[in-house]
Every structure is written in structure tokens, then in C-alpha cells.
Structure 1
Amino acid sequence: MAAVRKNRRRYKKRGRFGFLYKVLSVIALVAAVLMGATVFFRVEQVEIIGNVRYSAAQIEQASGVEQGDNLYRMNKYDVAAQIRRKLPYVESVNIRRRLPDTLVITVNECQAAAQLRSGDGGWLISSSGKVLDWSDTPHALRVDGVTPVLPEGGTTLVTKPAQQARADSLIALLQALEQSGTLTRVTHLDLTGISCIRMKLDDRFTVKLPAKGDFPYLLAVMDKAIESLEPYERGTLDLTVKDYTVVFSPA
């Protein structure tokens, strides 16, 4: 009986030591992998994809990544944010590692969608509301009624609290115009009204839109109404009435 108890105690000890051995083995393996990643996977080349406006050298410099940096220690999201901030016309950035020594940076550049007019010039913004840069050359699409606060290229549009609803409507409308292929047909957006946006279209129509609404649907309704008109007809298309019924008033 005593021998049986001794064997049980030995078995328990072996079980405890076996479990401890497994834990230490896993820790040693993880440490070896991390050490290998630190020693071996270093940046030797940076590959840039998707750039048009900016050169590969400009994007690499903006990233802050240097040869010899560790591929796994860098924060990809911080690098992407830095590129977007320093290069205003970069809308989005995707970063991936290609072992053993390459960092691949894919950028998606944006275009100026509109100009927030101020004096003899204005701040250019993308359809997502990113501030691009100041230009004293009039842009094809002028916006009145939204004034940026402390604007800086590479940042997101910020306005006074009283104009925030206007700014939100502007971005939503710009995105709808871009997605529908209508953006290049618009020359002026007036958001100074309380409940109505006035839009100049094709140098032919003044379109009245509700300040808030389903803009993709409204633009589709607008296009259908224009198709029903004769090519020579000009005037105002009012989509602010109930149920988005279009009221056309000839000029």
C-alpha cells in the first residue's frame, strides 16, 4: 500500500514538471521567433503603388520609414496616418510587409471636389471632406455657406458648431454627386439657406435640394426630371416639396 502511494506521488511530480516544461518550451519558442523577427526582417526596400501626383520618393520620405527599420516593430497605422497628413492628396494608404525585406505602400490619391470660397481664393477639399490646399485660382465648383476653422492641408474639414450641419450635408452631397458622375456638371453650391441647398447644374438649371435628405435618390429623381424636358428648356428644379416631387419653373 505504501509503495502505491509513493508511485502516485512520483506520478504527480512528473505531471507537474511535464506541464512546466511545456510552458517553458512555448515561451522559449516565442522568444526565438521574436528575436528572429527583430534580427532578420529589416527594411531594405520600399515599394510604392498607386501614386500619380506624388513621386515614390515623396511618399517614402513622408512615411518616415528608413532602411534598416524593423518590419514588425513599426506601427503600420501610424505610418499610414503620417503619409495622409503630410501629403494632402493621398486619400487612403494600405501598408503590407513582403518578407524578407520589403515594405509595400499602396496609396489612393484624391482630387479636389470643391472650393470653399474666401476672398480671392479658397480652400480645396476632397469629396470626403479632407482639406487639400489653398488656391487663389477659382475651382470649377464653388461652395458658399461653409467656412473652415484653422484649415490646414492634410486635415479633416472643421467648421464652427453653427455650421456643422451644413458641412455634413455638403460632404454627403459631394459624395453622392461623385458616385453618380454628376460632380463635374455642378458649378456652384449655396448652403447659406436654412433648409435648402441651391445647386447650379450644367449652366442651365438651379436645383433646390433639401438641406438633409437621401441625396443619391434625389439626384436620380432630378436626372429623370431633366430627361423629360426639351434640350432648350432652362429654369429651376425644386425638389424640396413633399415626397420629392419635382417642380420645374422655366426661366
Structure 2
Amino acid sequence: MKKNKQTKLNKNDSELDVLNSELGSFGLEPPKHYRQERASNQAYKQREYDNPGAHKTPKKRSTSKPETQLTKEQKMKRHKKKRRLKKKFRIIFSVLALVLALIVIMTVLSFTVLFKTENIEISGSTTYTNEQISSVLPIEKNKSLLLINKSSVSEKLISDLPYIYSVGIKQKLPSTVIVTVNEPSFLYYVKNNDNTYTYFDDTFKVVKINAESPPDKNGIEVQKIALSNPVEGEKAALTDDSTKNDLSALMAVIDSTYMTEATALYSDGDNENYIVYENRITIKLGDTKNLEDKLYAALASVEKLNTSNPEANGLLTSTGGKQIYFTEQK
């Protein structure tokens, strides 16, 4: 061992001698930095030779914790918990499937076996008897109560029985259908050239043609118009429909105020709309804006006028201004 050390030292010295011999003619020594670096390298090599494993990089220790080993009892508990959850889900799904199946079965039974129509109750008409209404009523007995098409039933009655204005249908379980018909609050009419009369409602649906006299109750004549080929149960066309919208507005305000004293109405244009009160006072309302307010103001004035002169006859102007004028007709 000592011999090897000595051999290495001699080798280093010989290298210095060679360098010195090369520089010797100039009387120079190796630079100080070179000498220090050589010395440091020699010391490092010597330490490596004496203790080969001293300067090896230490291995990093693993910081991860080892997995916790479950005991047999813990594994059993976890397994039982999973089994309980699976069992619970199976029960829930089974119950849901059963409920859904029952709903389907009950729905099918409701539309096929249960809730069959056995009784039909009809009310509301003063023009038609219950037998007349029943004869055109498209509801069959012993058919499902839940399959009744209310819209088609209503359309059928309104078309076949013109005096019927609207229809209400209610299904009363387990086996009853209640049919309530409504007739027009007011019947409007025109006088034809042959001195007959045609009745219609506020939708211009024709109720009756070739009547010999005006309606007995709540009949209002629509003046200054003529109908084109009216057919009972169908909506009439006006020979000149330029005032149709204004007439509809006048009909609507009579209905909303339930003005039973109205005996006639007419329109001469957008700003010339009139309602006749008891065939003696013509109320001029102007355009169709705020008709209800203007009509209420006019009726208040008519009431005062009737107090002072029950037979008053003339033109009352209520076109929306602050003042209302009455011009008596002599």
C-alpha cells in the first residue's frame, strides 16, 4: 500500500519536474493558482484513495407513508356496508318500478274500464230544451269520461244550435258530465228589405234569419248596415264592412255595462259612433277610445235629464270633453 502511495507521489513530482525543466531556462515557477489547484486535486485524490465511499451523494429517504393495512374485522365491516348500500338501492328501484307500473295500469284502466259516462246534466238554455241539446251533443254514454274533447263538443253545439253563445263542460267523477250553455246577453238584428229580420250576436254569428219581428228581449237594432247572404250558425259578412270594428266596439261596451236601455246603435265613421237610449235619446260618443268612460258619463246625464223630463227626446253629446251637451228634438 505504501509502495503505491509512493509511486503516485513520484509521478506527480516527475510531472512538476518536467514542467520546471521546460520553464527552467527562464527561471520561472508555475503560477500560484496552478500550484493550488494541483495541490487541491492531489489532496482530493488522496482522500478518495483512503476512504472511497466518503463523498458519495446520500440517497434520499422516501417520505411516503406506508399503506395502512386493514384488519380482517375492518375489511368485513367495509364489505357489509357495501352490501347494505346495494340492497337499499335494489329496494328503491324495485319500489319505483312498482309505482310506475301501478300508474300505467291505473291510467289504462281509467281510459278503458273506469270512469265511463253514464249521466249527462244540461242547463242554462231558455231557447232550447234539454232534449234538443242532447240530440246534437257529441258525447256517448258508456265511453270514457276522460276522453271527451271539450273543444269539439263546444264547437258542435254552437254551430248546430245558433242561440248558444258559449258552452262549459265539466267532468264529475266517476261517471257524470255537466254541460252548461250560455246564450247571448243581447241579440242584435237588422231589418231586411222584405220587412223580415235577421238576428246575430256580438261576433256577427247569425242566430236566426227571416224572423217576422224583432227579438222579444234585449234586442238592439244595428242601423245603416246590411248582411250578405246570412246563414244560421255562421258568421255574417257585411256588404260594407268599413264600420265593422266600430260596431264591434259599441257592442262590447253595451255588454260590459249591461245597458239594457239600448235599443239601437250605428256608426257613420271613426269619429261618429252612436247608441240610442230607449228609442228617444241618441248618445253621440265620438271615436271608440275610452268608450266605457264616455258612456257612463252620458248615462249619468240621461238620469238627471229623466228626472226633469221623462219624455225627453234628442241628441246627447258625450265625446270625452268636460261638458256634455243635450240638444232637444222638437
Q: TM-score, normalised by structure 2?
A: 0.63
CA 1:115 to 1:232, structure 2 compared with 1: closer, same or farther past 3 Å?
closer
Aligned to 2:160: 86
Cα distance between partner residues in 2 of 1:151 and 1:128? 13
Cα distance between partner residues in 2 of 1:79 and 1:19? 44
Cα distance between partner residues in 1 of 2:171 and 2:312? 57
Gaps of 5+ in 2: 1-73
Cα distance between partner residues in 2 of 1:205 and 1:122? 23
Conserved? CA contact 1:146–1:191, under 8 Å: no
SS of 1:72's equivalent in the other structure is helix
Aligned to 2:279: 203
Give the alignment of 1:34-45 within 5 angstroms: 34-37=107-110, 38-45=112-119
SS of 2:147's equivalent in the other structure is coil
Conserved? CA contact 1:196–1:240, under 8 Å: no
Q: TM-score, normalised by structure 1?
A: 0.81
Per-residue CA distance 1:9-50 (angstroms, 9 max, x = gap): 322322321221122121122123223322032112212122
Q: Larger relative CO (CA 8 A, sep 6+): 1 or 2?
A: 1
1:19 aligned onto 2:92: yes
Per-residue CA distance 1:98-142 (angstroms, 9 max, x = gap): 333222212222355211455445542234654423234353532
CA 1:173 to 1:155, structure 2 compared with 1: closer, same or farther past 3 Å?
farther
**Structure having the higher Rg:** 2
Conserved? CA contact 1:133–1:153, under 8 Å: yes
Gaps of 5+ in 1: none
CA 1:81 to 1:126, structure 2 compared with 1: closer, same or farther past 3 Å?
same
SS of 1:135's equivalent in the other structure is strand
**Root-mean-square deviation (CA), in Å?**
3.0
Cα distance between partner residues in 2 of 1:148 and 1:14? 78
Match of 2:298 among 197, 203, 222: 222
CA 1:203 to 1:165, structure 2 compared with 1: closer, same or farther past 3 Å?
closer
Aligned to 1:124: 199
Cα distance between partner residues in 2 of 1:51 and 1:207? 33
Cα distance between partner residues in 2 of 1:161 and 1:232? 35
1:165 aligned onto 2:240: no
Match of 2:289 among 200, 213, 222: 213
Report how many aligned residue pairs link the two structures: 246
SS of 1:66's equivalent in the other structure is coil
Q: Which structure's residues are more often strand, by fraction?
A: 1
Moved more, 217-226 or 61-70: 217-226
